[in-house]
Amino acid sequence: MNAPILWIAVPFLVGGGILFLLRERYAAWLGGGTAALLALIALVIPIDTALLLGPVSLKIAPSIQILGRSFELNTADGPLLAIIYGLAALWLFGTEASGTANRFVSLGLMIVALLTASIAVEPFLYAALLLEMAAMLVVPMLVPPDQKAGRGVVRFLIYQTFAMPFILFSGWMLAGVEASPGDLGTTIQAGVMLSLGFAFLFAIFPLYNWVPLLMEEASPYATGFLLWALPTFTTIFALDFLDRYTWLRTTPQLTNAIRFAGVFMVASGGIFASLQRHIGRILGYAAITEAGLLLLIIGLGSSEIINLTFLILIPRGLELVVWALAIAIIKGRIQSLRFADVQGLARSYPVAVSSLILAHLAMSGFPLLAGFPSRFALWQQIAEGSLALSFWVFLGMFGLLIAAIRTLAVFVMAKEDAKWEWNESWVQTIMLGLGVIGLFILGLFPQALQPFLSNLAPLFEHLGQ
């Protein structure tokens, strides 16, 4: 067995088979089961290590050559693959509760497979092409066949496409920087090109205007999946860049720019979220705020960069899936997600509303919930260097908290004679209940993530030193 075939080709082919061959009622279970099985294999079977199962010797080869390009997944990639496919399984199982069609399951598996290929391909600059292919597959997930693409979808695709040439050109120029590190002009040009490419990928202000638009136009569950998947792999891609090129890690102007962009995204995302009157747009700005936290961690250049990054990335997937699923269930009854239309729904959808608020509070860094340990650790790192940065990060988190309080107030504004009802199905109740339990477990026992965090450091040999 070969690792790239197992974690790239198999899910891609299963996704294609679901799209063309399988009925919708079985899609969620097959897609989620496939992702869960791949996560389990990555967790228990090391890559490139022979295992004896009785008389049978089993070994997963690490690499394969395709069209002159190498796809390689090593032993150190095992914990990362377990995290990726474990979180993907949550999203795919959730389609049964959200009521999305099998297009989501099939395209979701194919997108995760392409994004996994982006961290396995060598030369690694070809990851930009795979990220673009994944972005193109997102479009049919967001836009039903009988509808025209809205402004949010068009802007998303344009910005992702603009990122690709900048990153490819910067990679070509980085080769020149390695050959002549004293050439200041080439170094500056490569840094500018790379910064522009990642600005489009990370949706740095003002390039994140497509996020709230998508939350209004497209399915909230599909958009939530997009807001989880692409930033996660973009972050891993950015860490790989920093790990490979020493001058990127040691250039103070670049790290200062990354840090400023992160702080600005955190503060602006939180402030804009507190001013919204649409629960979908609030989710979009919350995702922007967390993307800013990831940029801030990268810009700090801390020795704990890997631990802090994945301490945000892992709970982030759970927070987004619970929040997006709750919104999808609520939207199944109403057409608009504006405050005026969701007022008083706490009495008719108590489980969905409670889950939404808890996921929102977790992303705000509320104590005892999944987002708190990462925020607390990050504040400790920031406070050692700059109280001004701490203030702006606090302002962004406070804006998210205000948005959560406003949302809760709207949901409980029911008429006095309104009856309490339970309109969620048993599948929806179980999925949301398990998600909320996970939010509390990661908040109360963050050390549960330590086995994953300790095994992720070998992926990036030079970061954090």
> Is residue 123 reached through a cis peptide bond, with omega within 30 degrees of 0 on the bond before it?
yes
* pLDDT at residue 52, rounded to an integer: 65
458 pLDDT band, cuts 50/70/90, is: confident
pLDDT at 320 over 90: yes
54 pLDDT band, cuts 50/70/90, is: low
pLDDT digits (tens, 9 = 90+) for 259-302: 888 999 999 999 999 999 999 999 999 999 999 999 998 888 77
* pLDDT at residue 432, rounded to an integer: 92
* pLDDT at residue 396, rounded to an integer: 92
pLDDT at 152 over 90: no
Lowest mean pLDDT among 53-67, 318-332, 352-366: 53-67
Rounded to two decimals, the pTM is: 0.91
Tell me what percent of the residues of the chain surpass a pLDDT of 70: 92
Average pLDDT, the chain: 84
Q: What are phi and psi of 306, to 5 degrees?
A: -70, -45
Paired tokens of 366: 């509320």
- When mean pLDDT is compared over 42-56, 126-140, 266-280, 330-344, the highest value belongs to 266-280
* pLDDT at residue 298, rounded to an integer: 87
- Per-domain boundaries in the chain: 1-122, 145-459
- Which amino acid is it at 325? L
464 pLDDT band, cuts 50/70/90, is: low
pLDDT at 304 over 90: no
* pLDDT at residue 85, rounded to an integer: 92
pLDDT at 258 over 80: yes
pLDDT digits (tens, 9 = 90+) for 177-189: 555 555 566 667 7
Q: What is the chain's percent helix, strand, coil content, to nearest 5? A: 75, 5, 20
